[in-house]
Amino acid sequence: MAPNDTEEDPRWGFSISKPGNGPRLVLLECEDGTIASASPEFMLALIIKEHLKVIRKDMKGKNKEHCKEIGVHFFEVISSEVEKRLQEGFLKAFDLLNIKCHFI
């Protein structure tokens, strides 16, 4: 993505922006019509957090500390460069949640 570019797809419900030399941002329209932005890693952390809620609920009486380390596997990766970017993004997202991430 070139600097000052915005990438959109009507199926997504969000857009991705790269302002200048800054980091990529996910842009979302809120219910009140305002535009919110966050890093892709932050958005991924929110998704992971919701998944962990379901995992913890399913664990019921079991030790819930098991969710302090998570293994991640990418089934089909286009290239080693893409895999490296994915791993970096997941590591940042899990770091935001104070959870260790292992790649399987």
Give the separation between CA 50 and CA 29, rounded to whole angstroms: 20
Extended beta strands in the chain, E state: 5-8, 15-18, 25-29, 35-38, 69-72, 100-103
* pLDDT score at 64: 57
The dihedral sign for the CA sequence 67, 83, 5, 8: negative
Q: Using CB atoms within 10 A of its CB, is residue 33 exposed (0-12), middle (13-18) or buried (19+)?
A: exposed
Q: What is the mean pLDDT of the segment spanning 52-67?
A: 73
* pLDDT score at 1: 47
- Whole-model pTM: value is 0.74
Q: What is the mean pLDDT of the segment spanning 17-34?
A: 83
